[in-house]
């Protein structure tokens, strides 16, 4: 084993000289260059992706299910009980939630859900509320304002 990069030595037999195929009959690998005669594999760049020799390909054998809504917007979720970290009468916004670490990043907005109990009067300005969350905030005398 080498002590440093400058003393590295290539082991004998570990490297082979590159063999150029199709260089004439005398080389032992001329004419068809080891690809046999005719057929798909004999031609350049004709291997079909996912082709399994006529057998039904795996991608077609497996069942397809579900639906992926490409227009779906993933919102960050915050439960009511988490809002108790704010002072009574505070105005809670998306930036405040990020600063407090309740939300990592609100790319598509923040939604407040009604899990837990709110103990303080707050003015909450975020992108969406569940019905129960909005009712709970207003029951404490606060406001649930939807921001666009």
In a domain, 106, yes or no: yes
Q: What's the structural domain count of the chain?
A: 1
Which residues span the domain enclosing 137? 76-146
Alpha-carbon dihedral of residues 47, 48, 53, 59, nearest 10 degrees?
140
What are 100's two structure tokens?
């407090």
User: What is the domain-level CATH number for residue 102?
Assistant: 3.100.10.10
Contact 73, 62 (CB under 8 A): no
Tell me, yes or no, whether 65 lies in a domain: no
| 115-145 per-position pLDDT tens digit | 999 988 999 999 999 999 999 999 989 999 9
* pTM recorded for the entire structure: 0.54
Name the token pair of 20. 């150029």
Give the integer Cα–Cα distance in Å for 50 and 45. Answer: 14
No. of helices (H) and no. of strands (E), the chain: 3, 6
Residue range 17-30, pLDDT digits in tens: 999 989 999 998 99
Q: Is 138 helix (H, G, I), strand (E, B) or coil?
A: helix
């Amino acid at each position: 084993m080498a002590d440093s990069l400058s003393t590295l030595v290539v082991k004998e037999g570990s490297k082979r000289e590159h063999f150029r195929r199709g260089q004439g009959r005398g080389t032992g690998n001329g004419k068809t260059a080891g690809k046999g005669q005719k057929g798909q594999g004999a031609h350049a760049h004709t291997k079909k992706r996912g082709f399994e020799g006529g057998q039904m390909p795996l991608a077609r054998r497996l069942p397809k299910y579900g639906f992926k809504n490409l227009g779906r917007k993933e919102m960050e979720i915050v439960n009511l009980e988490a809002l108790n970290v704010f002072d009574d009468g505070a105005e809670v916004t998306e930036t405040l939630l990020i600063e407090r670490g309740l939300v990592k990043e609100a790319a598509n907005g923040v939604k407040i859900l009604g899990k837990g109990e709110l103990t303080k009067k707050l003015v909450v300005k975020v992108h969406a509320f569940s019905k129960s969350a909005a009712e709970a905030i207003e029951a404490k005398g606060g406001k649930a304002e939807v921001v666009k």
